[in-house]
Amino acid sequence: MSLEVNDAQRPLLDLVATHSHAVLTTIKRDGRPQLSNVLYTWDPDTNTARISVTADRAKTRNAARDPRVSLHVSAPDFWSYAVVEGDAELSAVAGDPHDAATDELVEVFRNAAGREHDDWEDFRRAMVSERRQVLRVRATHLYGMAQLP
């Protein structure tokens, strides 16, 4: 299922597209929510958020077990927010500094940080040693509160 955005939701999508900090919600084994502050990058062509995660974290294990996730993005005014709901997809764990998983992690860093890393080879080695992977959230539903007039 893909996200269909109406005119009233455009400001919400703009909020998601212009920010990089969010709260990711996954579902614990007992059904309670587990929340994590994350840095993300947004692909407006596919309405997909991408987040660098480590394979052994609770959020990653939760998303692998139950892919239903939400991403809450707040505006600086506190009252404006957007929530992206979707199903999580996990990339492979980075296994080599130059594999496809590590290449995607490089792209996520560039887009989220808005800059180049000081030492890409060191970054790539760290992605492997930290067992990082990309958690993708393909938006299927969007709601929230745009800035009030």
Domain that holds residue 58: 7-91+131-142
Using the Cα atoms of residue 55, residue 56, residue 61 and residue 62 in order, give the sign of their dihedral: negative
Give the per-residue pLDDT at 148. 56
CA distance 85 to 138: 8
Q: What mean pLDDT is predicted for residues 55-82?
A: 96
For 46, which DSSP code? T
Q: Is the residue at 2 inside a domain?
A: no
pLDDT confidence band for 62 (50 / 70 / 90): very high
CATH number, domain of 43, equals: 2.30.110.10
Give the per-residue pLDDT at 6. 80
Q: Is the residue at 107 inside a domain?
A: no
pLDDT confidence band for 120 (50 / 70 / 90): very high
Q: Is the residue at 73 inside a domain?
A: yes
Q: Is the residue at 110 inside a domain?
A: no
| The pairing of beta strand 33-43 with beta strand 81-90 | unpaired
Which among 28, 23, 32, 131 has a CA at the least distance from the CA of 84?
23
Q: How many domains does the chain have?
A: 1
Q: Say if pTM beats, i.e. exceeds, 0.85.
A: yes
Give the per-residue pLDDT at 1. 64
Q: Tell me which residue has tokens 């974290």.
A: 57
Q: Is the residue at 111 inside a domain?
A: no
In the chain, what percentage of residues exceed pLDDT 90?
Answer: 87
